[in-house]
A and B are shown apart, each in its own frame.
Chain A
């Protein structure tokens, strides 16, 4: 995989004891490209995303970011290099407000050069400077754009599922990432909300040349936000191509519906 790829996973294998969760899988995403990762439960999608984010080390294979190998880099290092992610399980800092989530993403991700990592810097001053910034991925702009402005000072842990997903997304985007890893970003959302998130992601991608890897069970959403789809089953890449190609593929239908997948089934 070369520098022309934003992020590339090559020949990645992950085993849990005797179970092979990901089996020599390779995925490469070009700068500004959005790739949807689909597959039935247990296919190894989240494990692969964990490998990309640095949560899990593969037994074999490599991960590179804009041509630099980062296979052994920690989660923190990758975040500072511009890899941001959201979580499938709703996971926020329960004691922080919505605004503080976004400010944290802004200050900690792709960290600006602060002495001693910013640990001794005055937080209030930095937060005020961040909120005064009106660049496209600044905290104030993200709060406005994601509809979080009115609840910015409320505790994030007390919000509904849809809002929590938005806060998680805003936190990730605030780090001004080069690669965005989204794990089921619309899980638990109503269809209308999911479409709105899809439109927003497409717009942000176009504006900021974001590279995205999106895991999603909602295939319509995956089709909406992806240039390409990669289908996994039992840890192996079984299909890759345009959304129509992959969703129309027999092997993908078979992975989802088993051997009896009828010709009537439309994904």
Chain B
């Protein structure tokens, strides 16, 4: 029993302590600025990597000095910078843009750090102590120095936060600003200063969390995504308000996760499946069992709702005409390599059209969309491999399986708010990453090979043949999206997205609309997933993770959520940009594409309609300026 406590409970308790620190940072920032920061793990990872560079890689500072620099200077500065430079603008646009902005941070910041620091594989990131792995004992219980410091940090942070929020004037101000920025301002407080302070605290807490977590888990973006999810789950149980409940839940998540492995450490189901899924299961429970919806803060100052333009379908076809010409010309002018890249772009365009339907039309937050794409891709490829069903038919069947899963999720989450539904989908996505992708019937241990498809007895195995296959598939999907837009259902779904309560009062059920939009998005994304398998000829579990899906979402947001043409441009850019980087820039610049895509999502505050629409506006502006200079303009 003592061994069990030593190995699993203590280890879990300590990791739970870190989750508690991070969760407190999330709650503080949310309550004082209304930002639910999904990029929190990314921030913690970035600061932990800076700490590693200062302390271990280049030995510039000792552990303690590096800690003071990171927690006292870099963390708070980064927090204030993010608030001032990004979130204070996004928060005024509403919940969804703010969340997507934070996803931009989650995507861009770790990639930027990897590019700047280009660390080798880090097997152990030392903590503040030079003897972090040394064992000590308290009675019969053994623990490492790293574990002791992490637990001590959590206790100190917990007590300090409690004191700050409950017993100081600044804590009172922070709670007042959380309730109403306007009233707090009218009472003579400075809400801006208070928000800066809370973001500085949040940044410092991210620094503490990151620095103390790194020696215990791993200094990788994936490990820190787990930090985000675990702390978010704990914060949700605490109603995004109670620091006490958040702290306790964090500890419980840590202990339960670790102890489950202790029950049977040889069980793959426990170690690879259930244990990593605990935070996601807690998140699902916290979302589904809430009696009242999560408070999403104060109303936005202005709306980003854009004209729906249900009558614009013929114009969409006109806009797509130049793209069609380019698609047909590509095999003539491009080399085999670049034609392959263009084909990949067409496949991503189909996947991204799924985001357009779910978010742009349905108003949903498809944070776990990659899981549905993955389920479709793996099940389709699996059906083809095991039953002899033609591959292209199997791709459709895979997409239908993903659609059924999506309907189940949407029905379960039908009564949830947009935020809660988004959290449910990301929890499902992470569950898929950790559980379903470890289910060998779906994803074989060595991955899934995908043979070349055949059509009417003709094998499509050359780059050009597959390019045309993808082009035809995209044309069919785009035509389907156009047909969807002409249906009354699209009109109802748009109304339900804009004002659910008004739609309901008019006789439109917003929940049915959400289910339909989510199911359609899963089907379209699933077709894209199946084609991705054909393009790659091989699928592994790391191809379609939630992290990858968040990057996709960032790209689509950057280009424009509401426009199918923007989704196509996003798909092409997503395929071409990394190919350009890998061909022309040093290897260390590999993450540049991810950085750009993440930063692109941050531009949402400037261009709510996306970069494609902004570019078209620019062209129109130039056109208007040039028109008077054209011959005959004066006479007319």
Instruction: Tell whether A pairs with B.
Output: yes
Identify B504's interface contact among A76, A100, A118, A121, CB under 8 A.
A76
Identify A79's interface contact among B308, B489, B491, B506, CB under 8 A.
B506
Q: Which residues of B contact A93 (CB under 8 A)?
A: 494-495, 498-499, 502-503
Contact A120 B492 (CB under 8 A): no
Verify if A107 is at the interface (C-beta below 8 Å from B): yes
Q: How far is the CB of A103 from chain B (nearest CB, A)?
A: 8
Contact A84 B486 (CB under 8 A): no
Q: Which residues of A contact B616 (CB under 8 A)?
A: none
Verify if B303 is at the interface (C-beta below 8 Å from A): yes
Contact B506 A175 (CB under 8 A): yes
Verify if A94 is at the interface (C-beta below 8 Å from B): yes
Interface string of B458-489 (1 = CB under 8 A from A): 00000000000000000000000000001111
Interface string of A103-140 (1 = CB under 8 A from B): 01101111100100111111110100000000000000
Contact A108 B499 (CB under 8 A): no
Contact B507 A109 (CB under 8 A): yes
Contact B508 A76 (CB under 8 A): yes
Task: Please count how many residues in chain A sit with their CB below 8 Å of the partner chain's CB atoms.
Answer: 40
CA distance A155 to B303 in the complex (A): 14
Known: A93-B498, A94-B305. A75 touches B489 (CB 8 A): no
Verify if A188 is at the interface (C-beta below 8 Å from B): no
Q: Which residues of A contact B508 (CB under 8 A)?
A: 76, 104, 108
Known: A91-B501, A93-B498, A95-B307. A119 touches B507 (CB 8 A): no
Q: Which residues of B contact A155 (CB under 8 A)?
A: 307
Q: Which partner residue on chain B sits nearest A114 by CB separation?
A: B488
Identify A108's interface contact among B487, B501, B507, CB under 8 A.
B507
Q: Which residues of A contact B505 (CB under 8 A)?
A: 53, 75, 79, 84-85, 87, 172
CA distance A15 to B502 in the complex (A): 24
Verify if A203 is at the interface (C-beta below 8 Å from B): no
Q: How far is the CB of B6 from chain A (nearest CB, A)?
A: 46
Q: How far is the CB of A261 from chain B (nearest CB, A)?
A: 31
Known: A96-B495, A126-B488. A110 touches B501 (CB 8 A): no
Q: Which residues of B contact A100 (CB under 8 A)?
A: 308, 310, 491
Q: How far is the CB of B261 from chain A (nearest CB, A)?
A: 43
Contact A123 B494 (CB under 8 A): no
Verify if B410 is at the interface (C-beta below 8 Å from A): no
Q: How far is the CB of A196 from chain B (nearest CB, A)?
A: 24
Task: Please count how many residues in chain B sit with their CB below 8 Å of the partner chain's CB atoms.
Answer: 29
Verify if B342 is at the interface (C-beta below 8 Å from A): no
Contact B491 A123 (CB under 8 A): yes
Identify A104's interface contact among B305, B487, B506, B512, CB under 8 A.
B506
Q: How far is the CB of A5 from chain B (nearest CB, A)?
A: 21
Contact B501 A119 (CB under 8 A): no
Contact B501 A157 (CB under 8 A): no
Known: A93-B499, A95-B308, A157-B305. A76 touches B507 (CB 8 A): yes
Q: Which residues of A contact B499 (CB under 8 A)?
A: 91-94
Q: How far is the CB of B317 from chain A (nearest CB, A)?
A: 15
Q: Which residues of B contact A126 (CB under 8 A)?
A: 488
Q: Which partner residue on chain A sits nearest B513 by CB separation?
A: A119
CA distance A94 to B310 in the complex (A): 14
Verify if A74 is at the interface (C-beta below 8 Å from B): yes
Verify if B179 is at the interface (C-beta below 8 Å from A): no
Verify if B169 is at the interface (C-beta below 8 Å from A): no
Verify if B509 is at the interface (C-beta below 8 Å from A): yes
Contact B489 A118 (CB under 8 A): yes
Q: How far is the CB of A26 from chain B (nearest CB, A)?
A: 24
Verify if A80 is at the interface (C-beta below 8 Å from B): yes
Q: Which of B507, B508, B512 has the most CB of A within 10 A?
A: B507
Contact A122 B488 (CB under 8 A): yes
Known: A95-B494, A96-B495. A119 touches B516 (CB 8 A): yes
Verify if A171 is at the interface (C-beta below 8 Å from B): yes
Contact B305 A108 (CB under 8 A): no
Q: Which residues of B contact A95 (CB under 8 A)?
A: 305-308, 494, 498
CA distance A93 to B507 in the complex (A): 14
Q: Which residues of B contact A172 (CB under 8 A)?
A: 505-506
Q: How far is the CB of A105 from chain B (nearest CB, A)?
A: 5
Q: Which residues of B contact A118 (CB under 8 A)?
A: 488-489, 492
Q: Which residues of B contact A108 (CB under 8 A)?
A: 492, 495, 503, 506-508
Q: Which partner residue on chain A sits nearest B496 by CB separation?
A: A93
Verify if A55 is at the interface (C-beta below 8 Å from B): yes
Q: Which residues of A contact B307 (CB under 8 A)?
A: 95-97, 155
Q: Which residues of A contact B498 (CB under 8 A)?
A: 93-96
CA distance A252 to B410 in the complex (A): 49
Q: Which of B488, B490, B512 has the most CB of A within 10 A?
A: B488
Known: A76-B507, A122-B488, A123-B491. A91 touches B502 (CB 8 A): yes
Known: A76-B509, A171-B506. A122 touches B486 (CB 8 A): yes
CA distance A121 to B488 in the complex (A): 6
Q: Which residues of A contact B507 (CB under 8 A)?
A: 76, 79-80, 105, 108-111, 175
Q: Which residues of A contact B506 (CB under 8 A)?
A: 79, 84, 104-105, 108-109, 171-172, 175
CA distance A92 to B486 in the complex (A): 22
Contact A94 B303 (CB under 8 A): yes
Q: Which partner residue on chain A sits nearest B313 by CB separation?
A: A124
Q: Which residues of B contact A87 (CB under 8 A)?
A: 502, 505
Q: Which residues of A contact B504 (CB under 8 A)?
A: 74-76, 79
Q: How far is the CB of B503 from chain A (nearest CB, A)?
A: 8
Interface string of B281-309 (1 = CB under 8 A from A): 00000000000000000000001011110
A-B contact pairs, 18 of them (CB 8 A): A74-B504, A76-B504, A76-B507, A80-B507, A93-B494, A95-B494, A96-B307, A100-B310, A104-B495, A104-B508, A108-B503, A108-B506, A118-B488, A121-B487, A123-B310, A126-B488, A155-B307, A172-B506
Q: Could you tell me which A residues sit within 8 Å of B by CB distance?
A: 53, 55, 74-76, 79-80, 84-85, 87, 91-97, 100, 104-105, 107-111, 114, 117-124, 126, 155, 157, 171-172, 175
What are the 4 closest A-B residue pairs judged by CB atoms, nearest first?
A119-B489, A79-B507, A108-B507, A94-B305
